[in-house]
Amino acid sequence: MSQQTTTGPTRRPTVPTLSPRRTVGLARANAILVTRNRMTLFYAVVLPLLPLGLLLVGDSGEDSGGAGAAAIVTALMMAALFPVYYNLLSQLVTRRDELVLKRLRTGESTDAEIITSLALPGFVVALGTAVVAVPVAIALGQPVPRNPLLYLVAVLATLVLFAAFACWTAAWTRNAEAAQMTSMPIFILAILGQVAIGFPEEVRRWTDLTPGAAMTELVRVTWFGMERGSVEQTLGFSETWAAAGQPLLVLAVWTVIAVALARRSMQWEPRT
């Protein structure tokens, strides 16, 4: 007697895998689509660099205090919000509604490759903004970063977090137009923490737990060597490592939460 075997549905890998060749190829195609939209290109490339113009009217050198830090934080935050977060959010929603994501998942590309390729163009632009900000700020009279390596780690951690936020927000965004509203909570989290430095201490205990506050504190520490709540540049290279521990932990916790929520609620097909 012969046994009849049945083949069940093909399961996608449970462990995220990345093929550099496929990922770069998909990312290149996504980058071309972004460059064809002038408005998207403006928000992604030009807008994040505009806050650096504030350095022209502020103090320079060791006396720059919080003014220089505020301009640099604003530039980096806009780079995280627009090229990375909002660009990835709108692409995920648009490609989902056009069934592009569904078609990609039926091929060789893994889920990790699809998301990484969508995020990579904005990620590169945002990282480029963070790198360009260093010589531009120095040329405009700002001090050299106290801990360049830790500054780069802070930037990368922030960009990964906002990419995770984009995947999570896309799960409950019905269409591309709705993204303007569903993205507001993330924008508030970013901006609230950035301006909270002027809040009373009892309020700051809570706002310090927001991503915007963590990024602001990391720039103040890693670039300007400023302790929490101070505009005096007193921290040396070795002291910046300990001072950066708490805000890095805040970013890490938010990233774990955002990734977990995104994985549970990710929508690969149009919402019904």
pLDDT at 36: 81
**pLDDT digits 0-9 by tens, 243-263:** 999 999 999 999 999 999 999
What is the C-alpha separation between 236 and 227, in angstroms, rounded?
Answer: 10
pLDDT band at 20 (very low <50, low <70, confident <90, very high): confident
**Is residue 1 in some structural domain?**
no
Please, which residues bridge with residue 134 across strands?
A: none
If one compares 231 and 136, the residue with the highest pLDDT of the two is: 136
pLDDT at 3: 42
Average pLDDT over residues 167-177: 92
Give the total number of structural domains in the chain. Answer: 1
pLDDT at 65: 54
**Is residue 12 in some structural domain?**
no
**pLDDT digits 0-9 by tens, 178-190:** 999 999 999 999 9
Sorted by sequence, the CB contacts under 8 Å of residue 130 that are 6+ apart come out as 76, 79, 151, 152, 155
Burial class (CB in 10 A: 0-12, 13-18, 19+), 1: exposed
User: Residue 1: is its pLDDT beyond 70?
Assistant: no
pLDDT at 21: 84
The DSSP secondary-structure symbol of 109 reads -
pLDDT band at 16 (very low <50, low <70, confident <90, very high): low
What φ, ψ does residue 97 adopt, rounded to 5°?
-70, -25
The DSSP secondary-structure symbol of 148 reads H
**Is residue 39 in some structural domain?**
yes
pLDDT at 62: 54
CB-based contact 30:120 (threshold 8 Å): yes
**Is residue 109 in some structural domain?**
yes
**Is residue 144 in some structural domain?**
yes
**Is residue 196 in some structural domain?**
yes
CB-based contact 225:236 (threshold 8 Å): yes
3-state secondary structure of 233: strand
- Domain that residue 118 falls in: 21-265
**Is residue 11 in some structural domain?**
no
**pLDDT digits 0-9 by tens, 223-244:** 999 888 777 888 899 999 999 9
pLDDT band at 109 (very low <50, low <70, confident <90, very high): confident
Sorted by sequence, the CB contacts under 8 Å of residue 95 that are 6+ apart come out as 101, 118
HSE toward the beta carbon, residue 187, CA cutoff 13 A:
10
Closest CA to 267 of 178, 151, 149: 178
What is the C-alpha separation between 158 and 81, in angstroms, rounded?
Answer: 10
pLDDT band at 51 (very low <50, low <70, confident <90, very high): confident
Sorted by sequence, the CB contacts under 8 Å of residue 207 that are 6+ apart come out as 192, 193, 196, 199, 213
Side chain identity, residue 233: Q
User: Residue 101: is its pLDDT beyond 50?
Assistant: yes
**Is residue 61 in some structural domain?**
yes
Give the chain's mean pLDDT: 85
Helix (H) or strand (E) holding 182: helix 179-182
Distance, C-alpha 107 to centroid of its chain: 28
What percentage of the chain carries pLDDT values higher than 90?
52
pLDDT at 160: 95
